[in-house]
Structure 1
C-alpha cells in the first residue's frame, strides 16, 4: 500500500517515503505520538505533517486518540494504530496441519483457525481454508504471509523436504484466492525475526536454530536477518555431522545428517509431530531413550560450536518444539559446547522466548512488505499480553 518503486526521485515516491516515516513514528509510540511529534521526527513542516496524518487516517492506518498531557498550550491529540479495519493473513504450514491467523495492524491476533490434512489432501484443504478467509473478510485483507519449512525466494518454494514440495509457485496460487499480495517466508527465518523483534536492543550475530521434525537455522545481525544471496542460508539439517558406525540413515536418503540424530523425531520417536503441545512433547521426552537425547545434543553441539566460531556469535537460541524439552536438554547441549577451543570464547545457549506467537515473525515480514514499517517491541509485548 505504501511501498512502491522509490528509485525515481518523483513527487509520488517522496510522498510515499514521508508517509512511511510518519506511520513508523506512530507504530513506534502508539497512543503517545502527535502531529507535532511527527513534524519534529521527520523535519517536515507542521502543515505537511498534518497532511500526512490526514492521508494515513483516510487510509485507515491510524486514528486520533486521546488528548496528550498539556505542556502549557493547547493540548495535542495523540495518534494510535487503527486496529479496526485492515487484516494481515498469516498462514503457518506444517507437514500435517496449518495454522491460519488474522492479525490486526496493532499486532493482535483477532481470529485463528487450524486445518489438519494428509499429504494427499493438503493442497485442497489449504486452498479451501484460504478461499473461506477471502470470502469472509473481503475488502479488509491487506497482505498475506506464508510461513513454511523449506527454501524460498518469497514467491516459490524451491525445496521442502518436510512437505515434499519442489519448485512450487505457492505465492501465485494463494494470490489468486486472496486477491492481495502474498509473501513466502522460511519458518526458521520467521522465528528468528520474531525473537529479535521483541527485544529493545540486539547486538552482534545471533545463531537461531529451529528443532522440530526438521532442523534449520537463521542468522541475525543487530536484530536484522542476514540472508544469503541464493536464499539458502541456514539449511543445516542435511549436513553430515555423524560418521562411521554411528551414522543413521536420514529421510533424505543420505546418512549422518544432523536431522537424522538431532531432530525431535530422531530423539523422541515417530510419535512426535510438530503440532503436539508442550505437555505431550514433555511426556514423549520422559519416555524416550536418554541415549538418543544425548546423541542428539552432542551432534547439535558440534554444529553449534563450528558455526558460532565462524560467526563469533554473541549467543545461540534454540526455538521450535525443542523448547518443550526443557532445561535438561539445554544442559546436555551446553555441556558439550563448554570447552574452549583455541582462539574461541564461550557462547551462551538458551531457548527462544516462550511469549512469542507463532505468527509474529511472518506477520512482521508481511507488514513491512505492505507498509514499510515495523511494530515496536513494546507493541508486540502488549499484543502478546492480550493474547495470553
Structure 2
C-alpha cells in the first residue's frame, strides 16, 4: 500500500538511510509519488551530496534498477568524548569509519572556557591531519560526564563539572566551527553506540560507565531515555544505606555509590591502604599479579554496583547490560561481582534472558554514539528539508 505522506526530499532520504527502499521503483511503490516529483526530489538530494545511485539490483529483470544509497563517506562527524580527566576526539564518517582520532589529558573542572578552547584547537588539528575540510562536516557530537538537558543542549547541574551548569556548550562550539553541534551525557552516547553497533536487534540496552564516577545510559527502542531534566541514568549519586558509607561525594552528599564503587573510589581505597596506585590501569596490574587486597576491593565495588543495578534490572527488564569505562581494564573480577549480585537480588524472570557483558567498542563507544546522534539530528526529514529550502 502506498503512503499518502512523507514524500518530501527529507522523508525520501530517511527511507533510503533506514534501508526501507533501495531503488526509485521501490520508492514509488511505497510512497505513491509520481515519477516527475520523484525525479525532482532525487535531483535535490543528489545535487546536495546526500544520495548517490550506483550499481544494480541483483537479478533485476527488464531495465536494470540502480541502487540508491546515502553518501556515508562524504558526510563527516567530529566526535568529542569528554571525561573528568581525558578527552577522546575523532573524525569519523557517517558509515562508521574512523579517519583520525586523538586522546589527551584534560581537567574538566578547569571550566568550559579552557576545555572548549582546547577541544576546538584539537578538532582543527585532526581535520588537517586527515586531509579533510570543515565543509565536509555534517556536525559535531559531544559527550560530557554529567546530565544534559537535551532540549537546551546545556549541562544541567553536573557534579564533576564546576562552572559548566547551563553553559552554552553547543552554541560556543558551533560559533567556533561553523557547523551544527549536539551535546549529550557520555553514558547515553556510549549506550547508543554500543546498542547500534553491537546489539542492533535488542529492544533495550542498559549501559553502565564506570570511571572517575558512575553513570548509566538507558537505551529503549533504539533511543536514549534522558528523563525530564537529563538525569535519567545518574545512578552514581544513589545513596548507600549504612553507617560505613561516610565519604562525601562531589555532589555534596554523603555515601553516594560513586564514592564506593567507581574506578576512582577503588584506586583511592587501595592508595589509602598504602598500595602504590594512581589509576585503574594500576589496579589492573595488581589484579593480574593476584594481589589479594586489590581483588577484595574490586569485588566489593562490583557487588555494591550490582546491588543498585538489580533494581534497574527489575524495573526495566533489559535484554543487555553492558559495563564500560576504565573499569573494564580490570578483567573479570568486577564483572563477575556485578553479575553475582544482580542474580542474587532479582527474580529469575528479570534475568533469565539478560546478557551481562563488557563493552565491545571500548573507548570508541562514545565516538560511535556521537556519530549516530549527529547523523540522526542533521539528516532528519525536517532538517534536510529546511536546508534544501534555504538554498532554493
TM category (shorter chain) comes to 0.7 to 0.9
What is the match of residue 364 of structure 1?
Answer: 372
In structure 2, distance between residues paired with 1:57 and 1:280: 52
Q: CA deviation at 1:272?
A: 5.5
Structure 2 gaps of 5+ residues are 272-276, 382-392
Q: Are the aligned partners of 1:318 and 1:349 in contact in 2 as well (CA < 8 Å)?
A: no
Q: Aligned with 1:23: secondary structure? A: helix
Q: Is the 8 A contact 2:313 2:350 kept in 1?
A: no
Alpha carbons 2:202, 2:320 under 8 Å: kept: no
Quote the offset at 1:349 in angstroms: 5.0
User: What are the within-5 Å matches in structure 2 for residues 233-382 of structure 1?
Assistant: 233-269=232-268, 271=277, 282-286=284-288, 287=291, 289-339=294-344, 345-346=350-351, 348-355=354-361, 357-358=364-365, 359-372=367-380
TM-score (norm 1): 0.80
Deviations 1:38-83 (A, max 9, x none): 2233332333333322221111112221122242211111223324
Count residues with an aligned counterpart: 353
1:141 corresponds in structure 2 to 137
Q: 1-side partners of 2:91 and 2:238: how far apart?
A: 36
User: Which is worse superposed, 315-324 or 113-122?
Assistant: 113-122
Match status 1:74 vs 2:67: no
Asked whether the 8 Å contact 1:217–1:235 carries over to 2, the reply is yes
Contact 2:14 2:379 (8 Å CA) reproduced: no
Say if 2:12 is the partner of 1:22. Answer: yes
User: What do you get for the CA RMSD once the two structures are aligned?
Assistant: 2.9
Question: In the TM superposition, what whole-angstrom CA distance separates every residue of 1:288-310 from its partner, at most 9, and x where no partner exists?
Answer: 62221122112111101122223
1:149 and 1:160 in contact (8 A); partners too:
yes
Contact preservation (8 Å) 2:306, 2:341: yes
Are 1:128 and 2:128 an aligned pair? Answer: no
| C-alpha contact (below 8 Å) 2:90/2:98 kept by paired residues | yes
Which whole-Å CA distance do the structure 1 matches of 2:75 and 2:351 have between them? Answer: 46
Deviations 1:106-142, CA, capped at 9 Å, x for gaps: 2322222334334545344223224556887232222
1:242 deviates by 4.1
> Match for residue 89 of structure 1?
78
**Which residues in structure 2 correspond to 1:209-224 (within 5 Å)?**
209-224=208-223
Contact 1:210 1:216 in 2 (8 A): yes
Q: Which runs of 5+ in 1 are unaligned?
A: 1-13, 374-388
**Offset at 1:231?**
1.7
Of stretches 287-296 and 225-234 in structure 1, the one that deviates more from structure 2 is 287-296
The superposition leaves residues 197-250 of structure 1 with CA deviations (integer Å, 9 ceiling, x where unpaired) of 1334223x4432211111011222233222212221111111212421244343
Distance 1:77 1:49 in 2: 14
Deviation, 1:323, is 2.5
Q: TM-score, normalised by structure 2?
A: 0.79
How far apart are residue 332 of structure 1 and its match? 1.4
Flag the 1:281–1:105 CA change in 2: closer, same or farther, 3 A. farther
The aligned counterpart of 1:60 is: 49
Structure 2 vs 1, CA of residues 148 and 26 (structure 1 numbering), >3 Å: closer, same or farther?
A: same
The question of whether the paired residues in 1 share the 8 Å contact of 2:92 and 2:100 is answered with yes
8 Å Cα contact 2:81/2:143 also seen in 1 = yes
Instruction: Give the corresponding residue for 1:8.
Output: none
Partner residue, 2:201: 201
2 CA distance for matches of 1:340 and 1:215? 20
**1:346-367 CA-partner distances (Å, limit 9, x unpaired):** 3635124414733111111111
